[in-house]
A and B are shown apart, each in its own frame.
Chain A
Amino acid sequence: MSGASVIVIGAGVTGLSSAWWLARSGVDVLVIDKGIVGWEASGRNGGGASHYHSPLFHEEQKLWPQMDELLGYTTEYRRERVIFATTEHHLENYRRMAEICRGLGYRVDDLDPAQVRSFVPLAGDNVTGGIHLRFGGQANPQRTVQAYAWALQDLGGRVFQHTPALRIVTAGGRVSGVETPRGVLGCDHLVVAAGPQAEALLAPIGLRLPLAPARAEMIVTEPAPLMPVGGADGNGLYGRQTLRGNLAYGGGPHEWLDVDALGPRRRPSTPILRNLAKRVAELLPRGAHLRVIRSWAGVVENTPDGRPVLDRIADPGNLTVATMSGVGFGLSPATGHAVRDLVIDGRCSFADLGKLTLARFKDTPADWRERQGWLPTTHEQALAAMAP
């Protein structure tokens, strides 16, 4: 089985966007995945695209409005976002967030309660105010992931689904390929974008990428008439009204997991979906009658500081590592561009990534998950820890 010039492990948004960007530069690229494209957290998230904290933020904002055209497929991207509050305390937080975004050169309008309701007709009399991001937006995660995969294939790139990476093969201090059930696939450069499975893949070649997987969940209602701004959230929730009209919201407590080499065994929802339902009903009281028809759960990987690793490794020199630490979807157009730059040029052309290197974890203690309490924790263990 032949390989490719560049192999990407992981057909999530990060891996697929990276591969698509590489294919746009004429690189022969192959993406392999243990399952189906976008099957983990990439296809199960809120779809938000306004990550002002990230060094990739400007590129994220520049790219999203062009993505449908660049990919040739719709992502259901919808521009702008209203974040609104039902308490003075939350409103204060949102206004500070607006200040940060303005400081970065982006327009944010303060909204009074009536203005909030004009953009978000399902909001109620409990609104205290809000902010209107004249940038950002949201897209449909599963459609976007599929768009990356198809656009990649349209450029001659390949995707092998149901092809787990079993081992990174090295020779003479360089990565020479990836062992899979289809045999060893050779490559000149390897991109590891394997989500929670990245840690176990990198460890045998002496690279430390500490990751802790966690589950996050969302609920979805039946469709409601489209609101002027679909990206409307607050009240401790992230989410959106989809272009179909469904309300899809998440937030609240996550659960730390152990993940097997081949991925999570299950992605269960929990009774926490009732707390999500409460918060959606509070946020959008005029939609409180809408029926909840689904829930999702996605498993995301987290680094110890919660920040990404986007790094072209020094040794072996033909390896690039990409994990977005649980905040990958919205940034993916820019992440792919950055990885393309790292692979081809050795450095990112549009952003400083110097604080996102793998080396920052070289002294992370072996028992870091235990110290941070980022391990599966039973109810009894939690009660003991919470006891005064």
Chain B
Amino acid sequence: MAAVDHAHGHEHGHDGHGHHPTGLMRWVTTTNHKDIGSMYLWFSFAMFMVGGAMSLVIRAELFQPGLQVVSPAFYNQMITLHALIMVFGAIMPAFVGFANWMIPLQIGAPDMAFARMNNWSFWILPVAGSMLVGSMFVPGGASGTGWTLYPPLSIQMGMGMDMAIFGVHLLGMSSIMGSINIITTILNLRAPGMTLMKMPMFCWTWLITAYLLIAVMPVLAGAVTMLLTDRHFGTTFFDAAGGGDPVLFQHIFWFFGHPEVYIIALPAFGVISEVIPAFSRKPIFGYTSMVYAIASIAIISFFVWAHHMYTTGIPLTGQLYFMYATMLIAVPTGVKVFNWVATMWRGELTFETPMLFALGFLFLFTLGGFSGLVLSVTAVDIMLQDTYYVVAHFHYVMVAGAVFSAYAGAYYWLPKWTGHMYDETLGKAHFWLTLFFFNLTFFVQHFLGLAGMPRRIPDYALQFAEFNKLSSIGAFGLGLSQLLFLYVVIKCIKGGKKAEANVWGAPGLEWTVPSPAPYHTFEEPPVVK
């Protein structure tokens, strides 16, 4: 509550600062970017646990051949909700949480540009999350279509599907409002002297991500609205009998879906670009080329969507084009990896928990990038499409990419948020457990995919049994290890060694304010030289 006391100190100086409600209403009505950032992060972790529990239901069923735990219909609901909750409920809000907390601190702004809209964009999330989770309990259960919601299967589903559609609409609204806020904040509220090209990399990645979100969330909203009208109002957008085409949905979905991959990956790159220089005690290598690389990745991501659809029957020329365009993404992605390596080269390296997670990210994300390159080649992809190889690939990108990066960021900024140092031993234990169990869970899935095991099946042939058993053991280990993180965070909030203003000796405006960051910061803009 130190932050609140600080605010009271200003009671008479400024209008409103001291009059915010306390207790629950403080959180419901808050327009403070730090409060909202914290709420985003807690919400994200809660959803991470819910989505994680669902993945354990999946892995429990796949522990051995045969049907033991759930029915095939419920299994399909689990894979759908697991993905929707993890993508929209856990990963995206986690990085919005970082953005809320850190962007104003990094650019020297007193708050986000639209403080009330900020409150609104957060409070939509729990409603949308409840829609998704609640859809399990309506007649017919949740949508059993996979997160891709392909028609005509999604036309057959019960009202759980409609709840998923409205949930997606709400999540989209929240993301768009959040993005408008971030863009406006970055473009208008930077401290005097902070030009765009002096901005921390994390702000750059979010600026570009926010544009991606504004461009593609309406596309997803359009796609699911067309599903809704096909389901209930007699339109036939996706029904050949009425002149429509089921594959049209896939084109629209993946026009959203591929940039979505980078909406998740870019802020993760941003966090890594903060952590690696800090623990190398050296400025980031190739700042300008990093900015250009992010921008090119974002632009190319709009033109590669049909590589998710190589087996739908697009013509040869189309397949060739999408193959070449997709391979091209490897170039800017490679530039980023090389720049990170060059940043560490001849640095003064130490390996605290944030750095360990950043290195884990670099190692595993690169592996995920390589399996992505393999999948970009159409002739190979046709063999691997819809197998566990793809499942392994995107978990290397999403979990080892986004989640590892989120952990790197959380450990990096926890002292700034709480004013205490986290328990370094436990943090390191969390890292090594996560690294080991992550690979046990997902590395073996490459082999399952190569051996031909299709994804999204509740039961499998006997030759897939051994690797599935290993993967399930890994998944339970991975899940349990995350409880350790919760413990570390709570311990850090409650106490611990007092954190200095600049705990890591890193450059950046966020390290010029005390730890914990006071409730109001940069009421007078700092001057950046």
A associates with B: no
- Residues of B near any A CB (own CB < 8 A): none
